[in-house]
């Protein structure tokens, strides 16, 4: 890899999300990656086991009971009154753990969202139509002067791409 290239950021879709509340309720989480067995066990804290060998990674679990006051005399079931979260390396509170598995090297990484450097979503809009609408909405939200500059820049960019394509076709 060249010295000036940044490492590729992980995509959110490439990772497996583990809900901490479900993990605490069930007590464990197990997955197989080829010949490797990965377990997360809740015993006060969350411990990581790889092929039944305890790893030196552990996350502290916290419970939060928000003050809920339902209207009209309702109640909140006890199992849903509590919010479980873990404390990351940076001291932040997280409700999910993520596992990133790379089949090429048969390795995996586990951690919070921030441990992965803030994973990226592939796109904020999924289809071409949605992407076009998103761009139009963003243009509307800009002040008039910035919007004009943006429209002009996009037109120039489109023209450059068109000229580049024509040059490639002529060769």
Task: Indicate whether this model's pTM tops 0.75.
Answer: no
What is the CA angle 123-124-127, rounded to 5?
70
Query: 95-140 pLDDT, tens per residue?
Result: 888 888 766 666 778 888 777 776 555 556 567 777 777 777 778 8
In this structure, the answer to whether residues 19 and 101 fall within a common structural domain is yes
Residue carrying structure tokens 């997280």: 94
Task: Give the number of domains in the chain.
Answer: 2
How many beta carbons lie within 10 A of that of residue 146, not counting itself?
11
In a domain, residue 122? The reply is no
Query: 5-30 pLDDT, tens per residue?
Result: 665 566 666 678 888 888 888 898 88
Can you count the helices (H) and strands (E) in the chain? Answer: 3, 9
First-to-final CA distance of the chain: 31
In this structure, the answer to whether residues 109 and 41 fall within a common structural domain is yes
In a domain, residue 4? The reply is no
In a domain, residue 138? The reply is yes
In this structure, the answer to whether residues 76 and 150 fall within a common structural domain is no
- Which pLDDT does position 41 carry in this prediction? 92
In this structure, the answer to whether residues 30 and 50 fall within a common structural domain is yes
Cα 64 from chain centre: 23
């Amino acid at each position: 890899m060249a010295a000036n290239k940044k490492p590729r950021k992980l995509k959110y879709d490439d990772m497996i999300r583990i809900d901490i509340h479900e993990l605490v309720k069930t007590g464990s989480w197990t997955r197989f990656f080829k010949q490797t067995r990965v377990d997360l066990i809740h015993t006060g804290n969350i411990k990581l086991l790889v092929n039944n060998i305890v790893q030196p990674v552990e996350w502290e679990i916290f419970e939060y009971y928000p003050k809920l006051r339902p209207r009209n005399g309702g109640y909140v079931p006890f199992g849903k009154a509590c919010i479980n979260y873990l404390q990351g390396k940076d001291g932040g509170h997280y409700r999910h753990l993520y596992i990133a598995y790379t089949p090429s090297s048969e390795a995996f990484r586990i951690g919070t969202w921030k441990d992965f450097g803030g994973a990226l979503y592939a796109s904020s809009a999924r289809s071409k139509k949605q992407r076009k609408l998103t761009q139009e909405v963003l243009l509307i939200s800009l002040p008039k002067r910035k919007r004009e500059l943006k429209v002009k820049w996009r037109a120039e960019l489109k023209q450059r791409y068109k000229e580049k394509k024509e040059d490639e076709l002529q060769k």
